[in-house]
Amino acid sequence: MSESDLTWEAVIGLETHVQLGTNSKIFTAASTTFGDEPNTHIDPIVCGLPGTLPVLNQKVLQYAVKAALALNLNIAEQSKFDRKQYFYPDLPKNYQISQFDEPIAEDGWIDVEVAEKGKETYTKKVGIERLHMEEDAGKLVHAGSDRLAGSTHSLVDYNRAGVALAEIVSKPDLRTGREAAEYAAEIRRIMRYLGVSDGNMQEGSLRCDVNISVRQGPNAPFGTKVEIKNMNSFSAIQKACEYEIQRQINAYENAELVVQETRLWDESKQLTKSMRSKEGSSDYRYFPDPDLGPIEVSKELRESWRAELPELPAAKRTRYIEELGLSAYDARVLTDEYSMAYYFEEVVSSGADAKSGSNWITGDIAAYLKSTRQSFVDLPFKPKQLAEMINMINDGKISGKIAKEILPELLAHGGSPQKIVADRGLGMISDPEVITEIIDELLKDHPNEVEAFRAGKKKLQGFFVGQLMKKTSGKADPKLVNKILIKKLSD
Amino acid sequence: MSKITPEDVRKVAKLARLEIPEDQVEMYTSQLEDILSYVDQLQKVDTSSIPPTTRAVEVVNVLRKDEVKSTVVREELLDLAPQREGDFFRVPKILAD
């Protein structure tokens, strides 16, 4: 059997850094605002001056525990902070305050829905090793060159240093680039549902490092692990994994070595390239930070935070499918953003049917919000008003066509669909007598077509319906029209 | 307790970014060995039934509210650095090793 006959399998794990959306930093009152002038949010604690004392932000603890609960992790009764030592100028103290052997939470899982065009959608349970709290580092600007190599010196901005992070480490359960991207997207979705992070990848509030190796079949030992960084979108995560998997397979099949290293994803060239490591040997010499006392999360506190968790995306998806009868696709689209799911649920609880609600929300309304760069929260057209409009259609008071006609005004200004329809005289004609009268007149005006129809040219029914809609500006109830028309034509 | 080697001294010095002249490595090796063997005496005490202590003062959950106070010492902090350039801290060329 030749090498290429064997099936290669990738083994992928993700380390996700999530910036927790607190106002002040993890251990000090400096602001966390993004995008301000360099070094405006620094203070003696951020800079690690002697004699300063870091104190944990209680909101960071709350957010970290809530995030951990949402990921089905076990919350440690006691945890502590450690110093991770390394020298790099983005770190003002030469150590990062992190958690080493007693993280706040361990051993959890999430259900990830993996959907890819042309492939069957499936749900995968992905294990989560741990979640711990730590501080972010600053930002470096390399001068004299746009890259580190070739720069003459570097400039440091410590605004981001000390911003609270939750680091979430997955188990090596992922097998494809798509799975890795879907896992990262689900983590982001959960964090946004919880309101603990905005998960903005462009601004770096959500960053993923990927550990990846390949092996020959599911029972083979793990291959050499390579870390890839620098992906700033979910599609970049997928593409970087796919590139790296192929690169490693090629290396093994050409009898070349895969070395343990860190590689950077190059978005413009669509490939990964080797990066020299930060420190020759990563010997971080962790030890407990003597400035910070241990953390104890009592059962009462933990349960009170658990009680505050919203319904999470995976649970919503299942409920939308099983209880509201939506398709898996609709459920997935509706639950992607909490604000959309919330809007949808308000529409349903206002008495509209779920399928119609889903169609309007994921169709016309989502397109409108995208083009005007608004969110469901700012939309003047309120869920109750959409429910009212849907019910008018379903009750035969207006046609779908009329609904589309009044939609732009509703989207822009909101208001009562019933009132708009009444004011503009757009209500559906659903009085059988009125419709019969119009049909009689129509048939009288088109004797030739009537004759042709009766002679067997049944396609002409469409012609009559069209003429009738034209006459009534689309306001005639189409069901009634068809019923009466057939009756009249066959008389 | 294993013996401290000159290699250990060089490694620790490198990790701590300390420059130790080669002719002093031996001196530091024996000094470090002395210190560690002194501490080693403590290992003779049976601590098997005592939980580890990570800090001298037993306080838990020292927390503060999530409130922003803007710094008043930004200029002083920037000036404290060996080099500043405008609003940035300036650091020498970073070498990958």
A432-490 CATH: 1.10.10.410
Out of A43, A158, A295, whose CB is closest to B73? Answer: A43
**Quick check: A222 contacting B, CB < 8 Å?**
no
Contact indicator for A63, A166 with CB cutoff of 8 Å: yes
**Quick check: B71 contacting A, CB < 8 Å?**
yes
Rounded CA-CA distance A477/A489 in Å is: 18
A267: nearest Cα among A246, A245, A238? A238
> 3-state DSSP helix/strand/coil percent for chain A, to nearest 5?
40, 20, 40
Rounded CA-CA distance A232/A184 in Å is: 11
**Quick check: A337 contacting B, CB < 8 Å?**
no
- Of how many residues is chain B composed? 97
Rounded CA-CA distance A347/B53 in Å is: 57
Q: Where are the alpha helices (DSSP H) in A217-327?
A: 234-253, 299-306, 313-322
Out of A30, A153, A294, whose CB is closest to B90? Answer: A153
Which pLDDT tens digits describe chain A residue by residue (491 residues)? 445 556 899 999 999 999 999 999 999 999 999 999 999 999 999 999 999 999 999 999 999 999 999 999 999 999 999 999 988 899 999 999 999 999 999 999 999 999 998 999 999 999 999 999 999 999 998 876 666 666 788 999 999 999 999 999 999 999 999 999 999 999 999 999 999 999 999 889 999 999 999 999 888 999 999 999 999 999 999 999 999 999 999 999 999 989 999 999 999 999 999 886 544 556 888 999 999 999 999 999 999 999 999 999 999 999 999 999 999 999 999 999 999 999 999 999 999 999 999 999 999 999 999 999 999 999 999 999 999 999 999 988 888 888 999 999 999 999 999 999 888 878 778 788 888 888 888 889 999 988 898 888 888 888 988 888 888 877 888 888 888 888 888 77
Residue A487 in tokens: 């009756």
Please indicate whether, in this complex, the C-beta atoms of A39 and B89 are within 8 angstroms of each other. yes
Please indicate whether, in this complex, the C-beta atoms of A155 and B91 are within 8 angstroms of each other. yes
DSSP SS3 for B46 = coil
DSSP SS3 for A193 = helix
**Quick check: A448 contacting B, CB < 8 Å?**
no
The Cα-based distances of A468 to A46, A456, A481, A490 in angstroms read: 75, 21, 8, 18
**Quick check: B42 contacting A, CB < 8 Å?**
no
Contact indicator for A338, A192 with CB cutoff of 8 Å: yes
Contact indicator for A464, A485 with CB cutoff of 8 Å: yes
**Quick check: B93 contacting A, CB < 8 Å?**
yes
Rounded CA-CA distance A307/A64 in Å is: 15
**Quick check: A55 contacting B, CB < 8 Å?**
yes
CA atoms within 13 A on the CB side of A144: 13
Please state the domain extents for chain A: 3-303, 311-424, 432-490
Task: Mutation target for A interface from B10, B57, B62: give the one with most A CBs within 10 A.
Answer: B62
Contact indicator for A406, A412 with CB cutoff of 8 Å: no
Instruction: List A residues 276-305 in contact with B (Cβ-Cβ < 8 A).
Output: 276-281, 283, 285, 288, 290, 292-296
Rounded CA-CA distance A10/A246 in Å is: 9
Task: Render pLDDT for B68-94 as a digit per residue (tens, 0 to 9).
Answer: 998 788 999 999 999 999 999 999 887
Task: Mutation target for B interface from A156, A285, A295: give the one with most B CBs within 10 A.
Answer: A156
> 3-state DSSP helix/strand/coil percent for chain B, to nearest 5?
40, 10, 50
- By CA distance, what is A295's nearest residue in B? B61
Contact indicator for A204, A231 with CB cutoff of 8 Å: no
Contacts of A89 in chain B (CB under 8 A): 89, 91, 94
Residues 6+ apart with CB under 8 A from A356: A390, A393, A394
**Quick check: B44 contacting A, CB < 8 Å?**
no
Please indicate whether, in this complex, the C-beta atoms of A279 and B97 are within 8 angstroms of each other. yes
Please indicate whether, in this complex, the C-beta atoms of A44 and B68 are within 8 angstroms of each other. no
Rounded CA-CA distance A432/A430 in Å is: 6
DSSP SS3 for B76 = helix
